[in-house]
Structure formats: structure tokens, C-alpha cells
A and B are shown apart, each in its own frame.
Chain A
Amino acid sequence: MIPLQPPRRLIDVQIDGEAVRVPEGSTILDACQAAGKDVPTLCYGDTLTPKNACRVCVVEVEGARTLAPACSRKAEAGMKVGTDTERARQSRKVVLELLGSSTDLSTTPRAAEWTAEYGADPERFGDDAATVAQPAKVDNDLYVRDYAKCILCYKCVDACGEQWQNTFAIAVAGRGFDATISTEFDAPLTDSACVYCGNCVEVCPTGALSFKTEFDMRAEGTWDESKQTETTTICSYCGVGCNLTLHVQDNKIVKVTSPHDNPVTKGNLCVKGRFGYGYV
């Protein structure tokens, strides 16, 4: 079933001098994708309202005083956007340096590729540069919170809260560089409102939230994505029939995700579908 959208007017925008026609209400990022431009994103989530916090997707809009976040700024008719101008590239470079120098990006997909592409040098801030390094929080058997890898994109908070799960177990606490994702009074997850749906893990862009299985295998050095197969199937627990994607390595399920393009669940699962595979 393909959900039908109401008809939308098309508007013309220019991306790097190239005319692109997109439906009204599209973001600059949509227009860039339509034009085949590869704009890096971190905090953008295909199933969430853009928070535009990471600022790695900034582009130059002609006539604007500051750069615009492509992920959230709506395209307007006649807008002239530069995705690869010197100013945009420079900002992306420094943003990658700021993130790379304060956060562990080792498990962030494409981080290394972008760092090379933009010539970012996270080491330039010296050895004393403040970081968010801290021990990983392992307080339950299902998933691990390794906030040394957290770029504070707010996606887990949004997925846990009103955008998907409505559980509100976590929020951003503190301010500025000291801000963290936290339960109330930093209580362990087992004491919190968490229902272990793992929808936060699903949207985490850096691997700060991961399955305990993945975390342990990475620690042992046995995690190897090239040896994994992905099989999409249907959850066997209830009648909803959510899609599950089983990540299998060495004939064992090591992680469960869900397709984001499923029109009903949009990548969300409950604790049973996400973690209840022990019987297999």
C-alpha cells in the first residue's frame, strides 16, 4: 500500500546553479537529494522532525546573513542555494572538528569519510581540549548508553517522547557543554520510565546507544559488519505484524532493527520485537 499524498504545488529552486523542481513544503535537503547532491547530515532523522542541532548540513542561501540548515529550512520558490560554497565547506569542516575533538565518532557511519572530505583536523585543539569522555552506562541487559559518543542530536529524546513512544524516560539535562541525555536525577534506566522499546537505539546516529550484544562484541573485537546478513521478516508476537530486520552474524542474531519506510511503524518496535529474540 502506498499512502496517497494530497496534491502539492511544485516550486523551482536552484541548487548550485542547477534548476530543481520540488513539491511545496519540501526542505532544502529534499531539493538537494532531488538534485543528486550529497549533503552530510547527523542529527537529521528520516522519521523525526528535524532538530537542526548538529549544523553539519548547513548550506549557503543567497541573500541570507547566516548559513541555513538544509535539513529543516523549507525550500522557497526562487531560492538560490549553494551546497558546496567555500563558506559552507568551511563551516562543515569546523563543525566536524568541534565534534571530532569532543566526542568519540569512531562508530559514527561516514564520520571518517566526511572528516577526510572536508579536510577536518580534530587534533588541532590540542591534547587538553575538553571532551565528553565518560564511562559507558551499562545498567540493563538490553542496551548500553555510551555518552562519550553522544553528539546531543536530541533524536533519542524525540523518539522516546512525543514524536513516537510517549514514554518520556529521558530528556536533555544541564546546559551548554555540560548538557547530557539523562533520566530524572540521572537514575539508572531500570528505575526510570524506560519500557525498553529500543526506538532510541534505532535512531541514534553515532552508536552512543547500542544493543548490549553489539557493545559486548565490539569490546571483544568480534563485531564484524562484513560478516553480517540482514533479513527482514515479520515479528511473531502479536497481530500488528511489525517488520523486523534481523542482523545475523555467525548464525546468531546480534541486533534487530526495523525498516524506516514501513508506513505503519516507521522503524519503531516494542520490547518484544526489538529484544525478544532469545527463543530463536
Chain B
Amino acid sequence: MDLRFRGAQPSQEERAAVDDLLGPPATAWEGGARTELDLRMAARAEEARDLLLPALHAVNDRIGWISEGALEYICRRLTIPPAEAYGVATFYSLFSLEPRPQRVLHVCTDLACQARGAQVVRDRVEERFGPPGKDWHESPCLGMCERAPAALALEAGQPHRAEVYAPATPETITTITGAAPRANGHAPSLEVAGETPVKEAVPQAGEPGLVLLRRIGVVDPASLDDYRAAGGYTALRRAFELGPAGVIREVLESGLVGRGGAAFPTGRKWEAAARQPDHPHYLVCNADESEPGTFKDRVVMEGDPYALVEAMTIAAYATGCAKGYLYIRGEYPRATARLQHAIATARSRGLLGDDILGKGLSFDIELRRGAGAYICGEETAIFNSIEGQRGEPRSKPPFPVEKGLFGKPTVVNNVETLVNVLPILERGAQAYAAAEPKLFCVSGAVERPGVYELTFGTTLRELLDMTGTTGTTRAVLLGGAAGAFVTELDIPLTFEGTRNAGATLGSGVVLVIDDTVDLRRLLLRIAEFFRDESCGQCVPCRVGTVRQEEALHRLSRRVDDSDLVLLREVGQTMRDASICGLGQTAWNAVESAIDRLGVFNR
């Protein structure tokens, strides 16, 4: 490809950050020093577009921002037009293309944190550090809702560091660099500080009868031996006994449906992908958990990382994938570190790579970090993001099982969906289906927030009896920002039960709102969230989310019927005419708050 550059040069440090990831450049044609030979001979530079996101991370992690010189160097190394790389880099909120401090604080002001006093933290942070933009940002949900309000400091360097403040108090938060965080010892490239044991996010930890959460807080998440001693890798052995078709049959029989929100039957997805004649097949684990109020996948990955590695191996075996991508959200430093460690350990012990367990199965997992874009959790946007394109959703059809990652048949599953495959194989489909487990992320006005495991059919009231509520419960937001408010507590927590109640189980968010929460402010935050996270590709969502927010601003000052009509029309158009689920659900929560909670009743 004939590329044109403006001639900006990278600094030594920027060059080193990229070379550490990609290795030194082979020739001057891809960014190396020019030699006599280069002038005589043209070398062929291979395009490696899919390494763009990791390369941008490498520079951003080391330096804190991406200069034009660094971007040009990345483009030379990977043979990418600079305008396109610029378009990709500006798509992600964790990257900056302007100089900024090494340490940047992300203060969560999203729903669960707002229900637990994030406004106070935010205001105090502003008092201490000035207006947001440079040293600190307001952040969408950080997925630490059980310890709300939360904040996360990301500090560039070598290694780069992450420091978690949860619950955050304005006094403990600092933007000062080099606060000597405590290393967790798992990943040399990343240090995480300020974390509490994962166990604390699981109030039921250690209780008998748990299925998906049984190892969390019980086994050492770093130890493969602990995992195997606690029943790990029996499911994979069982899978080898059943054969790929047998595994798919079990999953079909179990009735497992996707836990990411759309509730598509997993077995059917696997079956369709396995049948595709086109090869290779890819497996993508969607760990870009970004729905406000959702943190179950983080807890599973932090507390039981090998379970995900094993489950991905089984999915790959069943569907004929030789390569799996684990796409994890950029704001999950500890889960990233633990999975990096788990994947490396599994690989060194023959549980990933060629000839797994001596059964001739070849499969490996590549971990990819997101960089701050909710939309990349959409099942086709995640492909574009991995491929090094802007994380914009694709039109369906064709569906991922036909043409997915790199245009090949792809199975994409959420973390929780995948780990459910382990008990299906361990216990058999029927025993599993008799007491099918589901994880719920409970936050807001409750005494014991955290991830709860229930069997399907438990009612919302029973769940809240377990968690205890504080104050006077006014409503419950089910399914996150894309979900709906309900006031009826006797609805069974099943996909049908919530649908009948005009809500959605979605990703399992149960956010309890008491009467101290300003609902209009909460709706505004939901609208801001969708405006910020819209990718901008289609008109209904790009402009509709802006108009929705503007109308809510006007309504919170003065209730006007024409604005309510406007909201409904714009909302319905987003639902009918948007390309993907983001736009299609951007009006759900606002609609339910108007209709059921009477937020704008005069």
C-alpha cells in the first residue's frame, strides 16, 4: 500500500513502546533505519491492521497519550493509512491524542454510583483538581457497582499502573503520580492497587449449592492446581468423551441461552457455526462488560479465571475454532491481569496450544483490551474493534456465524454464557436445566450489594429479601441503562417473566432506587450515557440520543407536553430504525420511567 506521511517523528520512548509489542522493524519500509540495501530493493510490508489497537495501547500505556509521531510510527510498522489510524484512535475514550498528565483519574458518575453518592465525590474532586478534562474525567460505569461510588486512576509508565478507589472518598483519591501501588505479582506489564478481595463482591461466597460462583473466594485465582483440585478441567475431559457434536447436543438440550442480554439459544449458535464449510472458525469471548450496573463478568474473571479459559476451550472444541479472542474491557485492570496470567499458565501446562491434554485439539486464546467504548460489546462491533477498525456495528444479516471476525464464521459468547457450559457438561444437560443458575448484579439502595447466583424463577422480591434494602424502595432498574424501571416486585426473574412485565433481564442488572435518588437526574445520566457512547454511524442514534438528552434537560426544568411527544417520537424512531441494539434500546429506561414512575407528571 502506498502511504503518505507528514513526517512527524516518534520519541525514543514511543518507538520503544511499539517495538516492545511488535519487535524491531525488519526494513526501512516499515519504519526501520534506512540502509544501503533498502535503497536498492523494495521489501513487501505486510498489513497488520488487527494489531492497531494493541499498538495504540502500548503507546498510551507507556506515555499516557498518542502523539502524531507515535501514530505515524505505528502506521509505518503496520502499513495503515494515518487518516484511518487517527479515526480509530479518536474512537476510544481511553486514548488521548493530546498531551495529558501521566496519571488520569476516572470518576464514575454512572447509575449505581449516582445512587450511592457519586455526586459528592465528583464535586469534591472538582474542587480539589479543577474542572474535568485533563487530570480527571467523569466516567461511564466502571463495573465496580458493589463498592459504589467508584473511581479508577490509570497511570502511564513502565509498568503502567491502575489504582482502584472503591468505595471512593474524596480524601483518598489522588492524581499524584507514583503512589507506590502494591503489585499483585501476576502481570509484569501492569500493576493494580487498591483492590479488595473478590470474595467481598460475592455475599454468598463459600455457601454450598452455588454453581457458577462456587470457586470464587474459595480457590486462589492464580493457582491452576487449586482450580483443578476444585473440579477444574473435568468438563473438558467430559467434552472429549462426548465429541464436538455431543457437546453441542448437551448444550442444546440444556436450553442455555445467551447471558449478554439478547437471550439467543447458545446451542443453536454453536451448531450453526460448526456447520459452516468456510474456515477457519473463530471464537470471540465478549468480556467488554460495559452495561451500567453490570459487574458479574468481572467478578467471574477475577475470582475464577481458569473457568473461562476452560469454557472457551470447550466452545472452541465444539465449534471447530483454532483461535479464540478474549475481548476484555479496558477499565478492568485486575481481570485483565488475572486472565493474562491464567492464559499463560494454561499454555505452559499444555491446556492451551497444540495437542491439548494429548487429545489432538489445537486452540489458543489471544487477549485483547478494549479502550473505553460501550459499543464494542455489540457482537459485530467487537469484530471491527479486534480487526483494528472503528468499533462500529455491522449490518445483519450476514450474522456472525456466517461472516464474523475477519469475514469468517465466528462464535461470539458472553463470559457468563461460556462458564455455564462447565456445569452443563459436569452434571449433564437435564440436571443443569432442572436448576439453571443465573447471576444478578445487585447495587444501589441495598444492604449487601454484589453478584448473586439464583436459579431461574426466583422473584425479584425474594432476591431483595436476600440483599436487604435500605430506605424506601421506589423502583428497580432491571437490565441496566438499556433496561427498564419496574415497581412490581413479584415478577419472576426469568427472560419470559421480565418480558411479560414489560422489562428485560438484560445482563442481570438489579439496581435498587430509593426515594432519596433524584429520578430526573438519573434519567439525564442515562441519556448522557447513550449520547457519549453512540458510535455515530446511523442518524437515528447519533442525533436521536442528543435530542433525547436535550428534551430531558428541558423537561427537568419545566414539564411540557410537546417535549413528551417529541421524546416518544424520537425514541420510537431510535428503536425502529437504528442499526444496532444501542440505539434500539436507548429510549427504554426513559420510556419506562415516564410511563411507570410518572417522572414528569405535573
A151-193 interface bits toward B, Cβ cutoff 8 Å, 1 = contact, 0 = none: 1101000000100001011111111111100111101000111
Residues from chain A with a CB closer than 8 A to the CB of B85 are 184
Tell me if A173 and B87 are in contact (CB < 8 A).
yes
Is A102 among interface residues, defined by CB-CB distance under 8 A? yes
A191 to B390, CA, bound (A): 23
Tell me if B531 and A187 are in contact (CB < 8 A).
no
Q: Determine the main DSSP class of B at the interface with A.
A: helix
Is B365 among interface residues, defined by CB-CB distance under 8 A? no
Rounded to whole Å, the gap between the CB of A170 and the closest CB of chain B is: 6
- How many chain A residues touch B (CB < 8 A): the figure is 52
Is B570 among interface residues, defined by CB-CB distance under 8 A? yes
Rounded to whole Å, the gap between the CB of B31 and the closest CB of chain A is: 16
Within 8 A of B (CB), among A47-69: 52-56, 58, 66-67, 69
Is B501 among interface residues, defined by CB-CB distance under 8 A? no
Is A234 among interface residues, defined by CB-CB distance under 8 A? no
Residues from chain A with a CB closer than 8 A to the CB of B84 are 161, 168, 171
Tell me if A102 and B573 are in contact (CB < 8 A).
no
Is A101 among interface residues, defined by CB-CB distance under 8 A? yes
A138 to B269, CA, bound (A): 51
Tell me if B83 and A53 are in contact (CB < 8 A).
no
B79-103 interface bits toward A, Cβ cutoff 8 Å, 1 = contact, 0 = none: 0011111110011010001000000
Is A87 among interface residues, defined by CB-CB distance under 8 A? yes
A193 to B577, CA, bound (A): 35
Tell me if A52 and B579 are in contact (CB < 8 A).
yes
Chain B residue with minimal CB distance to A58?
B577
Residues from chain B with a CB closer than 8 A to the CB of A99 are 539, 543
Task: Knowing A90-B573, A171-B84 are in contact, say whether A95-B566 is a contact too (CB < 8 A).
Answer: no
Is A128 among interface residues, defined by CB-CB distance under 8 A? yes
Tell me if B395 and A193 are in contact (CB < 8 A).
no
Is B575 among interface residues, defined by CB-CB distance under 8 A? yes
Chain B residue with minimal CB distance to A54?
B539
Scoring B4, B539, B546 by chain A CB atoms within 10 A of each residue's CB, the highest score goes to: B539
Is A125 among interface residues, defined by CB-CB distance under 8 A? yes
Q: Which of A72, A101, A174, A185 contacts B543 (CB 8 A)?
A: A101
Residues from chain B with a CB closer than 8 A to the CB of A124 are 562, 566
B559-581 interface bits toward A, Cβ cutoff 8 Å, 1 = contact, 0 = none: 00010001001101101111100
Q: Which of B3, B91, B544 contacts A193 (CB 8 A)?
A: B3
Q: Which of B82, B532, B577 contacts A176 (CB 8 A)?
A: B532
Tell me if B83 and A184 are in contact (CB < 8 A).
yes
Chain A residue with minimal CB distance to B88?
A171
Is A98 among interface residues, defined by CB-CB distance under 8 A? yes
Within 8 A of B (CB), among A183-205: 183-185, 187, 191-193
Rounded to whole Å, the gap between the CB of A82 and the closest CB of chain B is: 13
Chain B residue with minimal CB distance to A95?
B539
Scoring A94, A124, A129 by chain B CB atoms within 10 A of each residue's CB, the highest score goes to: A94
Is A264 among interface residues, defined by CB-CB distance under 8 A? no
Is B11 among interface residues, defined by CB-CB distance under 8 A? no
A69 to B578, CA, bound (A): 10
Chain B residue with minimal CB distance to A57?
B577
Residues from chain B with a CB closer than 8 A to the CB of A183 are 83, 86
Is B285 among interface residues, defined by CB-CB distance under 8 A? no
Is A91 among interface residues, defined by CB-CB distance under 8 A? yes
Residues from chain A with a CB closer than 8 A to the CB of B97 are 185
Task: Knowing A66-B584, A176-B532 are in contact, say whether A98-B547 is a contact too (CB < 8 A).
Answer: yes
Tell me if B540 and A176 are in contact (CB < 8 A).
no
Is B536 among interface residues, defined by CB-CB distance under 8 A? yes
Tell me if B544 and A172 are in contact (CB < 8 A).
no
Tell me if B569 and A129 are in contact (CB < 8 A).
no
Residues from chain A with a CB closer than 8 A to the CB of B578 are 55, 66
Q: Which of A91, A173, A184 contacts B577 (CB 8 A)?
A: A91
Q: Which of B6, B83, B544, B545 contacts A168 (CB 8 A)?
A: B83
Task: Knowing A171-B84, A171-B86 are in contact, say whether A91-B576 is a contact too (CB < 8 A).
Answer: yes
Chain B residue with minimal CB distance to A55?
B577
Scoring B90, B91, B554, B569 by chain A CB atoms within 10 A of each residue's CB, the highest score goes to: B90
Is A130 among interface residues, defined by CB-CB distance under 8 A? yes
Is B402 among interface residues, defined by CB-CB distance under 8 A? no
Chain B residue with minimal CB distance to A154?
B537
Task: Knowing A90-B573, A176-B545 are in contact, say whether A193-B536 is a contact too (CB < 8 A).
Answer: no
Tell me if B86 and A192 are in contact (CB < 8 A).
no
Scoring A102, A154, A179 by chain B CB atoms within 10 A of each residue's CB, the highest score goes to: A179
Within 8 A of A (CB), among B1-29: 1-4, 6
A94 to B569, CA, bound (A): 7
A152 to B540, CA, bound (A): 12
Rounded to whole Å, the gap between the CB of A28 and the closest CB of chain B is: 13
B90-123 interface bits toward A, Cβ cutoff 8 Å, 1 = contact, 0 = none: 1101000100000000000000000000000000
Tell me if A187 and B576 are in contact (CB < 8 A).
no
Tell me if B569 and A193 are in contact (CB < 8 A).
no
A58 to B90, CA, bound (A): 30
Within 8 A of A (CB), among B43-77: 68, 71
Tell me if A184 and B82 are in contact (CB < 8 A).
yes
Chain A residue with minimal CB distance to B543?
A98
Rounded to whole Å, the gap between the CB of B324 and the closest CB of chain A is: 28
A56 to B82, CA, bound (A): 32
Show 22 A/B contacts (Cβ-Cβ < 8 Å), sorted by A. Answer: A53-B538, A53-B579, A67-B576, A74-B397, A90-B572, A91-B576, A95-B539, A99-B539, A102-B546, A152-B537, A152-B542, A154-B537, A169-B83, A172-B536, A175-B91, A175-B535, A175-B536, A176-B532, A177-B543, A177-B546, A178-B536, A184-B71
Extra 10 A-B pairs, beta carbons < 8 Å, given A58-B576, A98-B547 = A58-B577, A94-B573, A95-B577, A98-B544, A161-B81, A174-B91, A175-B90, A175-B93, A184-B83, A185-B71
User: Which 10 A-B pairs give the minimum distances between C-beta atoms?
Assistant: A168-B81, A171-B87, A179-B536, A98-B543, A94-B573, A193-B4, A184-B82, A176-B534, A184-B86, A91-B577
B-side residues, CB < 8 A to A, are 1-4, 6, 68, 71, 81-87, 90-91, 93, 97, 373, 390, 395, 397, 531-540, 542-547, 550-551, 554, 562, 566, 569-570, 572-573, 575-579, 584
